[in-house]
Chain A
Amino acid sequence: MPTPTIPESIVVHLGSPDSDAANVTTTFQDYIKNVASSEIYPTWPEEAIKANILAQISVALNRVYTGYYRLRGYNFDITNSPAYDQTYIYGRDIFDNISEIVDEIFDSYIRREGTVEPLFAQFCDGVEINCVGLKQWETVELAEAGLNYREIIERSYGGDVEIVTDVPVENLGPTAPERALGEGDSGSDVEIMQRRLNRISANYPGIPKIPSVDGFFDTSTTDAVTRFQEVFNLTPDGIIGRATWNKINAIYTAVKRLSAITSEGLTLEDINTRYERELALGASGNSVYTLQYYLAYIALFVPTVTSPVVDGSFGEGTRDAVVSYQRSYGLSETGVVDEATWNSIENTYYSILREIPYEYEEGLILPYPGRVLRVGVFGDDVRALQEYLNYIGQSYPEIPQVTVDGDFGVGTRNAVTAFIRLFGLAGNEERVTAQVWNSIINVYDDLYYGNIVREDQFPGYEISEG
């Protein structure tokens, strides 16, 4: 078997294994912070807290590594029931010192010497319940007596255990550098962080932009990092240590995931799709595509709704997503999309879109507004469109500049047509369907954030940023 790694995320069943309860997906660190905040008191001695957290990490890693629930046909990694696993209370309060300790040691676990598997480190409170393994209340006394967390763990699990550290972490982003980055440092790691912070600041306007994304950690970089740390409850020291690096990557991932799904978009036909017939396992086509897109978008906002693959084909993943939606919204959990379910899903999708403000902010990627934009239409979404086109037009002179007035007139239409022709899009050249919106914000995103322009977009001349 391969050696254990720290998973990027973990799926937690909110009940005993066979209960009809929802699953939530959370990052591994957030999961452990929650468990620790639920199982022990934050005012305990630090060595006691560390020992408990290591046991909790080991329990979770054991379940993931051995596939304990997956192999038995369940679609989750662990439950939140202390009778089976350990306590996890979705949405609970997290204690800051516990949070800091988890950030330090989340990539460690306990195992028996000579084995690879994380120890299923049983624990109990040791007062109401007794057990073999760690007794939570006893760890307080041991720490007060001067034992460190290693000694507490050996006392609890036997002398033949060892603590593995620096376990590789599965990560959606680049791995953290060996040492912390601070003012005066330079290099590609700094540049990545500057770029990511700027992308995040488009959604979090209280975080100042870093004017030069050049790999030099200057004062404005320190300011952005410090503000980021304040917002996300990290020590606001302006230095990118491991905890800050991981958090920047996590927030960046969420931000990009939201703009990626919004840029998937729908074709004009999909938008016009109304309920036609029941959709169930085996169905395919535009209606299924629309259904999947709606659910994927909703899943970003509602943690108990799972996201299907958006491919137009109604398979198991789509059925699971439909069931998770039905459970969350009080509908009968049939896995079949009848008219009531369809209307509910569509309603929820548009109600979420309604809450996204359409004020254009430089660098902010807005989701498709849910209506086709063409001559005669006006509104904030048209204003945003005009801003995007003007920004793009500074690098692609074929696209004429337009007056930003929120009114889709002839000038805006001409700019839209120029964009559609330049980027070789199919369909009506005078309207902004979801597909066209999708292309526009992709080009805008690439230009604004200085990413490599995709090869199929290269128009044959040098692109300069506006």
Chain B
Amino acid sequence: MEYNELGSLTVSTFAADSALPIQNTLIRVYGIDEENRGIEYSGLSDINGKSRLFILPSPSKKYSQRPGAEEKPYASYDVYIQKAGYADKLLRGVAIFEGVTTALIVNMIPNGDSKLTNLNLESDSIENQSLE
């Protein structure tokens, strides 16, 4: 199967509950399915903490209209977020649907010598779980 349709992704990096935008954050987007492996985009967040709009391949939305479709109705991407002075973030399994803009609002946490070891409040994967 191929990803012949398109969706899009926007990433915003903030701190302190959106009181502060974090600019010049490096954002990298990688396809992780067979159909989009090799897709790689990157960019920096702007002065308002916002990335450009990434246009990304996705499957047709027809696969989302019935349970047990033979194909997953969305494309999965990993998003890496890096900025010196802040904890790196990896958001696995960001979903891109045909015709839908996916927004990632990323809370950046300043990182000193104290490592945030136990901050596992973000699931390893944020794929749509309930409807698999």
Residues of A within 8 A of B (CB): 14, 22, 24, 37-44, 82, 87, 89-97, 99, 125, 127, 136-137, 140, 144, 203-207, 230-233, 250-251, 254-255, 257-258, 300-304, 327-330, 344, 347-348, 350-352, 354-356
Q: Quick one: which of B10, B74, B118 contacts A327, CB cutoff 8 A?
A: B118
A93-B117 contact given A43-B61, A231-B50, A350-B112, CB 8 Å threshold: no
A89-B91 contact given A99-B103, A347-B113, CB 8 Å threshold: no
B20 contacts A by Cβ under 8 Å: yes
Q: Are the C-beta atoms of B122 and A330 separated by less than 8 Å?
A: no
Q: Are the C-beta atoms of B19 and A22 separated by less than 8 Å?
A: no
Q: Are the C-beta atoms of A38 and B130 separated by less than 8 Å?
A: yes
Q: Are the C-beta atoms of A140 and B66 separated by less than 8 Å?
A: yes
Q: Quick one: which of A44, A82, A206, A251 contacts B18, CB cutoff 8 A?
A: A251
- Rounded to whole Å, the gap between the CB of B43 and the closest CB of chain A is 15
Q: Are the C-beta atoms of A38 and B112 separated by less than 8 Å?
A: no
B104 contacts A by Cβ under 8 Å: yes
Q: Please, which residue of chain B has its CB at the minimum distance from the CB of A24?
A: B121
Q: Are the C-beta atoms of B18 and A254 separated by less than 8 Å?
A: yes
A90-B122 contact given A96-B100, A96-B101, CB 8 Å threshold: yes
A351-B12 contact given A43-B65, A94-B102, A207-B48, CB 8 Å threshold: no
Q: Please, which residue of chain A has its CB at the minimum distance from the CB of B60?
A: A43
A258-B67 contact given A43-B100, A87-B130, A329-B117, CB 8 Å threshold: no
A348-B114 contact given A125-B130, A136-B131, CB 8 Å threshold: yes
Q: Are the C-beta atoms of A301 and B64 separated by less than 8 Å?
A: no
B17 contacts A by Cβ under 8 Å: yes
4 further A-B contacts with Cβ under 8 Å, apart from A43-B97, A91-B121, A257-B16, are A44-B64, A205-B48, A206-B47, A255-B19
A93-B126 contact given A43-B100, A203-B21, A351-B110, CB 8 Å threshold: yes
Q: Are the C-beta atoms of B118 and A231 separated by less than 8 Å?
A: no
> Contacts of A302 on B, CB cut-off 8 Å?
109, 116, 119
Question: Which 6 A-B pairs give the minimum distances between C-beta atoms?
Answer: A351-B112, A330-B117, A43-B61, A206-B48, A254-B19, A355-B110
> Contacts of B17 on A, CB cut-off 8 Å?
254, 257, 300, 303
> Contacts of A92 on B, CB cut-off 8 Å?
123, 126
Q: Which of B59-99 contact A (CB under 8 A)?
A: 61, 64-68, 73-74, 85-86, 91, 94-95, 97-99
Give chain B's interface residue range (CB within 8 Å of chain A): 35 or more
Q: Are the C-beta atoms of A41 and B73 separated by less than 8 Å?
A: yes
Q: Are the C-beta atoms of A203 and B19 separated by less than 8 Å?
A: yes
- Rounded to whole Å, the gap between the CB of B28 and the closest CB of chain A is 16
Once the chains are docked, how many angstroms separate the CA of A427 from the CA of B100? 59
B4 contacts A by Cβ under 8 Å: no
> Contacts of A22 on B, CB cut-off 8 Å?
121
Residues of B within 8 A of A (CB): 9-10, 12, 15-21, 46-50, 61, 64-68, 73-74, 85-86, 91, 94-95, 97-107, 109-119, 121-123, 126, 128-131
Once the chains are docked, how many angstroms separate the CA of A391 from the CA of B58? 53
- Rounded to whole Å, the gap between the CB of B55 and the closest CB of chain A is 14
Q: Please, which residue of chain B has its CB at the minimum distance from the CB of A300?
A: B16
> Contacts of B103 on A, CB cut-off 8 Å?
93-96, 99, 233
Q: Quick one: which of B67, B100, B122 contacts A125, CB cutoff 8 A?
A: B67
Q: Please, which residue of chain B has its CB at the minimum distance from the CB of A37?
A: B128
Q: Please, which residue of chain A has its CB at the minimum distance from the CB of B14?
A: A254
Q: Are the C-beta atoms of A301 and B109 separated by less than 8 Å?
A: yes
Q: Quick one: which of A24, A42, A233, A250 contacts B10, CB cutoff 8 A?
A: A233
Q: Quick one: which of A127, A204, A207, A232 contacts B67, CB cutoff 8 A?
A: A127
Q: Are the C-beta atoms of A96 and B102 separated by less than 8 Å?
A: yes
- Rounded to whole Å, the gap between the CB of B84 and the closest CB of chain A is 9
> Contacts of A356 on B, CB cut-off 8 Å?
20
> Contacts of A354 on B, CB cut-off 8 Å?
85, 110, 112
- Rounded to whole Å, the gap between the CB of B22 and the closest CB of chain A is 9
Once the chains are docked, how many angstroms separate the CA of A301 from the CA of B104? 17
> Contacts of B113 on A, CB cut-off 8 Å?
347, 351
Once the chains are docked, how many angstroms separate the CA of A95 from the CA of B46? 21
Q: Are the C-beta atoms of A91 and B98 separated by less than 8 Å?
A: no
Q: Are the C-beta atoms of B12 and A355 separated by less than 8 Å?
A: no
24 A-B residue pairings within 8 Å (CB atoms) = A24-B121, A41-B73, A41-B74, A43-B61, A87-B130, A89-B126, A90-B123, A91-B91, A95-B100, A95-B101, A96-B102, A137-B131, A231-B50, A251-B19, A254-B16, A257-B17, A258-B20, A300-B17, A302-B109, A327-B118, A328-B119, A351-B111, A352-B112, A356-B20
Once the chains are docked, how many angstroms separate the CA of A257 from the CA of B10? 26
> Contacts of A99 on B, CB cut-off 8 Å?
103
> Contacts of A89 on B, CB cut-off 8 Å?
122-123, 126, 129
Q: Are the C-beta atoms of B64 and A41 separated by less than 8 Å?
A: yes
Q: Are the C-beta atoms of A329 and B118 separated by less than 8 Å?
A: yes
Once the chains are docked, how many angstroms separate the CA of A37 from the CA of B107? 18
> Contacts of B104 on A, CB cut-off 8 Å?
93-94
Once the chains are docked, how many angstroms separate the CA of A136 from the CA of B131? 9
- Rounded to whole Å, the gap between the CB of B74 and the closest CB of chain A is 8
Q: Are the C-beta atoms of A90 and B121 separated by less than 8 Å?
A: yes
Q: Please, which residue of chain B has its CB at the minimum distance from the CB of A92?
A: B126
